[in-house]
Amino acid sequence: MLSAGLPTLLGAVFDLNHPAHTVDWEFIHLSVSNVVVIGLMVMVFVLAILLPFPGAAKRARARAAAQAGGSSTLGPDGGGR
C-alpha cells in the first residue's frame, strides 16, 4: 500500500495551482502536453515509414543468392510457393 505521505510528496513536486498552458489555433484548443504527445506520435509514424524493417537486408541477400543460383523457393510472382 502507498504511504500517506506519497501523495503529498507528489503534490509538492507538481504545482497544479495555475491555469493550463494551451495552444489555440482558430477553434482548436489543445494543452501543451497533448501537442507534445501528438508530435511524438507523428515522429514515430514517420520513422516507421522511413526506416527499413529488421532483417530486410538479410532477406534481400537471400533472394539475390537464390536468383543467382537458379533455384528459388519463391513462386513466379515473388511470393512463397
**How far apart are the C-alpha atoms of 2 and 73, rounded to whole Å?**
59
Give the residue extent of every domain in the chain.
15-67
> Is the pTM for the entire model greater than 0.75?
no
Helix (H, G, I), strand (E, B) or coil at 80: strand
pLDDT above 80 for 24: yes
The three three-digit cell numbers of residue 53, written as one number: 524493417
Confidence (pLDDT) at 3: 66
pLDDT above 60 for 57: yes
Confidence (pLDDT) at 75: 56
